Structures are given as structure tokens and as C-alpha cells.
Amino acid sequence: MVTIVVLTNCPVGLRGFLTRWLMEISPGVFIGNPSARVREAVWTEVQAYANTGRALLAYTTDNEQGFTFETHDHKWHPVDHEGLTLIRRPKEGAGVAAVPPPSGWSKAAKRRRYGRR
């Protein structure tokens, strides 16, 4: 079973920890073929030491899609829909701050930061 772990903004030590069982093929992207027991232990450690970073675990399994995945501190969340795992993304503008932009910003900077106004 292939296992893939993707880290974003995580401590360097966690990346070193993962290289014990998985190969880092790109910065923050790990792939390997550990047993299910090792995969679960690795994911538990990733969740414990990711701090403010984000992590994604994907691995092959015997289902309709042929894989499954788990997330840690992602804005996008997996949702089961009639046996298929889909991704629920946040609505557009959900992350936009409710406070008005500071004075002195150009119109272009306000559009880039806060969306069309």
C-alpha cells in the first residue's frame, strides 16, 4: 500500500522524523510503503508535532476510489458522500476579515487583500 504525506509549514524535525519510513521526493512531500501499523503510528506523531502547520495523509485502500486520506488543520475537509470521499472547500470570502482595510492602502491592494469592493 502506497502512503503519501504532505506537510506545509511544519517543523524541520518532523520532516527528519518522516524520513525514517518514507522518502522525501519534494520539499514536504513524502512517499513510501509502510505497513498499516507503522502508517498509523507515523500519522499520530505527525498530528502531535505539526504545531501550527498542516498535514495531509493519503494511502491506498480497498474501496471504490482506491485510496483514502486524512487531514490535519486544513481548511478543506473530507466529507463522505454516498460512499465516496469528497472535499468540502470553504465558501469564497469565508476567510476575509470583517474589519475594514487600513487607510492609506491603494484600491488595487484592497482588492487583492479583501476581494472586490
pLDDT value at residue 98: 57
- Say how far apart CA 22 and CA 112 lie, in whole Å: 38
Q: 9-64: per-residue pLDDT in tens?
A: 998 899 999 999 999 999 999 999 999 999 999 999 999 998 888 999 999 998 88
- Measured CA to CA in angstroms, residue 34 lies from 20, 40, 66 at distances of 10, 10, 17
Residue 94 forms part of a structural domain:
no
- Say how far apart CA 64 and CA 58 lie, in whole Å: 15
Backbone angles phi, psi at 45, to 5 degrees: -65, -40
Residue 107 forms part of a structural domain:
no
Q: How far is CA 106 from the centre of its chain?
A: 33
Residue 37 forms part of a structural domain:
yes
Total structural domains in the chain?
1
Q: 30-39: per-residue pLDDT in tens?
A: 999 999 999 9
Q: 69: which 3 cell numbers? A: 486520506
CATH number at residue 7: 3.30.70.240
Domain residue limits at 10 = 3-88
pTM: 0.73
